[in-house]
Structure 1
Amino acid sequence: MANEGKPCPCDIGDRIEYGGLGQEVQIEHIKAYVVRPSTASDKAIIVIQDIFGWQLPNTRYMADMLASNGYIAVCPDFFVGKEPWNPAHDWSKFQEWLEDKKPTNINKEVDTVLRFLKEQCGAERIGVVGFCWGGVATHYLALQYPEIKAGVSVYGIVREKEDRFTLKSPTLFIFAENDYVIPLDQVSALEAKLKEKCTMDYKVKIFPGQTHGFVHRKREDINPGDKLYIQEARTDMLNWLNKYM
């Protein structure tokens, strides 16, 4: 699910057998996975889950990667205890499942996490990275929160807001050329409108031959032909965050 206007089911991809280096904590009304860098930092990243939820090992692996690069990383449960999507579920019920889990209806949770990062973690510079459902959410937050220093939206587009091109945070959009969820014409339309209307720095990048989920749902050892693109996208993510944070 990476297109708010016409969401489609996703393939869960390659599950990473990964335990995680951080810990689960309670932040007011939501649970979250938090991992801290080896040295003190005032920079933090909110990592936003895909439809498979905040406990997916692949997403925690990405949070740990960010922490290893000097960021406090927090991956909250933006479904607030509601069951994440399971590939075994009936895909015909996907829209019904999504009704109370809109990626553009997370302000209460975001505000909670921002307070936590500022008051409990000493974060002074905060960014956002999101995948799929979280990519839509990241685009949404980049339109809503000027205090967010940088955003990386990985295969996600907000479609329904009139002002969806007036970014308030520098945002990198990462897409896959062969993404059946987000066709290239939607990516081209996004880039054209950003060029016309956006005064904030942004970048739209399409990775050739890749499919939806390649950045966090493909294992490099299983997909050696995609390894360079997986690594390049992750490097782009880190470079973007480093540039603005």
Structure 2
Amino acid sequence: MRNMKKEDIKQEVFDLYDDYAHNRIDRRQFMEKLSVYAVGGLTVSSLMSFIMPNYQDKIQVNANDARLSTEFVEYDSSKGGGKIKGQLSRPVNNNKKLPGVIVVHENRGLNPHIADVGRRAGLEGFLSLAPDALTPLGGYPGNDDDGRTLQAKRNRDEMLEDFIAAFYYLKSHPECNGKVGVVGFCFGGWISNMMAVRVPELLAAVPFYGGQPDAEDVPAIKAPLLLHFAELDTRVNAGWPAYEEALKKHNKEYMVYFYPATNHGFHNDTTPRFDEAAAKLAWQRTVDFFRKKLG
């Protein structure tokens, strides 16, 4: 039931979806809890249909977009998962070396939405690499439920090594100017923060509603940070005050934005958590930041 409106949905439903999307409840529990809100003509199935990702109709940049050269590549990540597959995108007819941007997926592998975001970055004039941390388990399985299950089987620190390896692959790519940044969403936001800790050569990090590193890790950060948070995302936001205190204490360069009345995942245009105005603003800030730091 895609004609349902976002305004018809109680905030508690979005909070339930956040619990489900982050494996705090399983699908059966999600449906049981959702039934409480199936009132006034709404059914559990209609609520499920509305709130779950709609990849088919929401792709902004198709994989065969003629403005881009897009392919899948493999790179080595010996500390993580061996060979890792990733989508590499850049503008066609390019005759100069480009800044590199790693695009890091959420907690379900390289699904169609994050692949789309990778191509959007390519259209902005970057050499974009969107790796799939599920490669060692066969890659994104075609749906998010199975993707979350697979990703939960991998050690997150090993996946971090996979994305660090992606940085070095992209930095040394013959089409890259050697200047590389990272943007990530949810789990990818944590990866972005941790790459800032672990990779001294990283020149820009943009976590979208990402978990924070420990305060004792902050002195190692060299990269400028651009941090995006959703106002209603109390789970992730709870860690921000301590992180900001450490960033200030150690004189780190950062900018932070909280987007009013938005939920975790507000940039993802495939679910009703999407907030168009906030997503456009956050993405433009991200592109401008990368152009300034990597150009």
Q: Residues 161-172 of structure 1 correspond to what in structure 2 (within 5 A)?
A: 162-164=216-218, 166-172=220-226
- Identify the residue that residue 3 of structure 1 maps to in structure 2: none
Q: Residue 228 of structure 1 corresponds to which residue in structure 2?
A: 277
Superposition deviation, residue 120 in structure 1: 3.6
2:184 aligned to which of 105, 108, 130 = 130
**Shift of the alpha carbon at 1:31?**
0.9
1:192 aligns to what?
245
Q: CA deviation at 1:27?
A: 2.4
2:206 aligns with 152
Matched, 1:41 2:89: no
Is residue 2:272 matched to residue 1:218? no
**2:219 pairs with 1:178:** no
- 1:229-244 paired onto structure 2 within 5 Å: 229-244=278-293
Normalised TM-score (structure 2): 0.67
Higher relative contact order (CA 8 A, sep 6+): 1
- One-letter amino acid matched to 2:119: D
Q: Deviations over 1:78-113 (max 9, x none)?
A: 233325585546x8xx6x953523057522552355
What is aligned with 1:101? 155
Partners of 2:209 and 2:273 lie apart in 1 by 19
Map of 2:255 onto structure 1: 203
Name the counterpart of 1:57.
112
Q: Could you tell which deviates more after superposition, 161-170 or 127-136?
A: 161-170
Higher share of residues assigned helix: 2
Letter in 1 for 2:241: S
Question: Secondary structure, in 3 states, of the residue corresponding to 1:174?
Answer: strand
Name the Cα RMSD after superposition: 3.1
* Uncovered stretches (5+) of structure 1, i.e. residues with no partner: 1-6
Partner of 1:80: 135
Q: What CA distance in whole angstroms lies between the structure 2 residues aligned with 1:227 and 1:88?
A: 25
In the comparison of the two structures, how many residue pairs are matched?
230
After superposition, the Cα gap between the structure-2 partners of 1:165 and 1:134, relative to the gap in structure 1 and judged at 3 Å, is farther
Is the alpha carbon distance of 1:161 and 1:102 closer, same or farther for their aligned partners in structure 2, counting shifts above 3 Å?
A: farther
Q: Report the identity percentage.
A: 22
**Retained in 1: the 8 A contact 2:213–2:243?**
no
CA contact (8 A) 2:193 2:212 kept: yes
**Contact residue 41 and residue 71 of structure 1 kept, 8 A:** no
Unaligned runs of 5+ in 2: 1-20, 25-50, 77-82
Looking at structure 2, the residues matched to 200 and 219 of structure 1 have their Cα atoms a distance apart, in angstroms, of 34
Deviation at 1:244?
1.0
Change (3 A) 1:159 1:151: closer
Between structure 1 and structure 2, the one with the greater Rg is 2
1:26 aligns with 2:80: no
**What SS is found at the alignment partner of 2:216?**
coil
Q: Give distance in 2, aligned partners of 1:12 and 1:144.
A: 34
- Cα offset, 1:37, TM superposition: 2.0
Take 2:229 and 2:125, find their aligned partners in 1: how far apart are those partners? 25
